[in-house]
């Protein structure tokens, strides 16, 4: 059995899914992670996309009732989906599920909400996870192709937040940090070096994931690719011209632009009013990085708070407290 077959094996015990991927330290080894987890192997994390979460959970409660807390399973698939949608960000997680000698955790989300998050960054939750290397196990909707829009958006946001010159490692760390900006869990329950560990443990996967979007950016003139492209210490040079900034800002996902405190016209000024002509001079009137960071933080903060509350309700106080304690201890070890 190869790695993908082994990762996909737990899906055989679940109802049919349209999309699935595995992620996290249980899939990609992170530097120093073994030192933090000598007592037990890391839990393997999954995200599952389904057509109708309510129907899926109803089937799964009949098939695997032990995956759910007893009080929640009493309300059936409708109750599970209601908490996920009304309290959380549309994702229900079943954690600490024993499977053949290891622990797994899987989150279930509707395909429609998943696509909206990928395209619009509506929650920047699952879309944020897909900005990092994952192992796609099922893809009936060809979301790997749709996710190219998400990857392109991540590169646009990272370029707007990076200085004129930066290393390939800086780029991947900035991309990897987007979905953690404003995440309240980073205050107490996440390793402060989490993103660096993810990038350094999966640098070749990051390169494979972003090779095409970066070639596209280079072809469009937004940055110069170094001859050593593919090495973390290679240096990129980006186009800092107002025209490039305007184009990158305009390419950001709609949910981010909606959270900007003002319209692009307040940041960008054209020399001539009316229709923009080729070669027209563009002037940047004010800083754009701070409002961009605030917009992303606002989305992520709201999503993280809602998902924490949803998790406590879905998993129960005892399981949630145990999970948070383990994450917090791991985070504190990384800080001292």
Per-residue model confidence as pLDDT tens digits over 300-322 = 999 999 999 998 887 765 565 56
pLDDT score recorded for residue 283:
58
Rounded CA separation 57/48 (Å): 12
Residues 30-52: b if buried by 16+ CB within 10 A, e if exposed:
beebeebbeeeebbbbbbbbbee
pLDDT score recorded for residue 277:
47
Which pLDDT tens digits describe the chain residue by residue (336 residues)? 688 999 999 999 999 999 999 998 889 877 765 554 445 667 899 999 999 999 999 999 999 999 999 888 999 999 999 999 999 999 999 998 999 889 999 999 999 999 999 999 999 999 999 999 999 999 999 999 999 999 999 999 999 999 999 999 999 999 999 999 999 988 765 677 889 999 999 999 999 999 999 999 999 999 999 999 999 999 999 999 999 999 999 999 999 999 986 656 566 665 555 444 444 555 565 578 999 999 999 999 999 999 999 988 877 655 655 655 565 555 545 544
Rounded CA separation 127/147 (Å): 8
pLDDT score recorded for residue 2:
86
pLDDT score recorded for residue 65:
96
Q: What is the pTM of this model?
A: 0.88
Note the pLDDT tens digit of each residue in 168-202.
999 999 999 999 999 998 876 567 788 999 999 99
């Amino acid at each position: 059995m190869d790695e993908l077959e082994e990762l996909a094996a737990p899906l055989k015990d679940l109802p049919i899914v349209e999309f699935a991927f595995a992620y996290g330290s249980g899939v990609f080894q992170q530097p120093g992670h073994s030192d933090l987890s000598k007592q037990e192997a890391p839990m393997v994390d999954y995200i599952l996309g389904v057509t109708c979460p309510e129907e899926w959970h109803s089937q799964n409660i009949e098939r695997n009732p032990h995956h759910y807390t007893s009080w929640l399973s009493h309300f059936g698939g409708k109750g599970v989906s209601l908490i996920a949608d009304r309290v959380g960000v549309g994702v229900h997680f079943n954690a600490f599920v024993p499977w053949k000698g290891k622990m797994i955790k899987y989150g279930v989300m509707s395909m429609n909400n998943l696509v909206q998050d990928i395209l619009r960054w509506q929650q920047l939750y699952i879309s944020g996870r897909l900005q990092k290397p994952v192992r796609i196990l099922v893809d009936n909707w060809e979301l790997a192709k749709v996710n190219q829009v998400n990857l392109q958006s991540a590169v646009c946001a990272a370029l707007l937040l990076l200085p004129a010159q930066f290393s390939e490692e800086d780029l991947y760390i900035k991309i990897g940090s987007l979905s953690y900006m404003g995440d309240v869990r980073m205050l107490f329950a996440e390793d402060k070096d989490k993103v660096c560990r993810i990038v350094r443990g999966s640098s070749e996967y990051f390169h494979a994931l972003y090779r095409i979007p970066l070639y596209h950016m280079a072809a469009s003139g937004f940055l110069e690719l170094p001859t050593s492209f593919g090495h973390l210490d290679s240096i990129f040079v980006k186009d800092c011209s107002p025209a490039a900034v305007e184009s990158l800002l305009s390419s950001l996902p709609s949910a981010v632009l909606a959270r900007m405190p003002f319209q692009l016209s307040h940041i960008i000024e054209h020399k001539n009013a009316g229709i923009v002509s080729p070669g027209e001079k563009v002037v940047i009137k004010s800083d754009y990085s701070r409002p961009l960071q605030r917009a992303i933080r606002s989305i992520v903060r709201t999503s993280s708070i809602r998902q924490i509350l949803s998790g406590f309700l879905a998993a129960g106080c005892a399981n949630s407290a145990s999970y948070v304690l383990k994450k917090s201890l791991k985070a504190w070890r990384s800080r001292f």
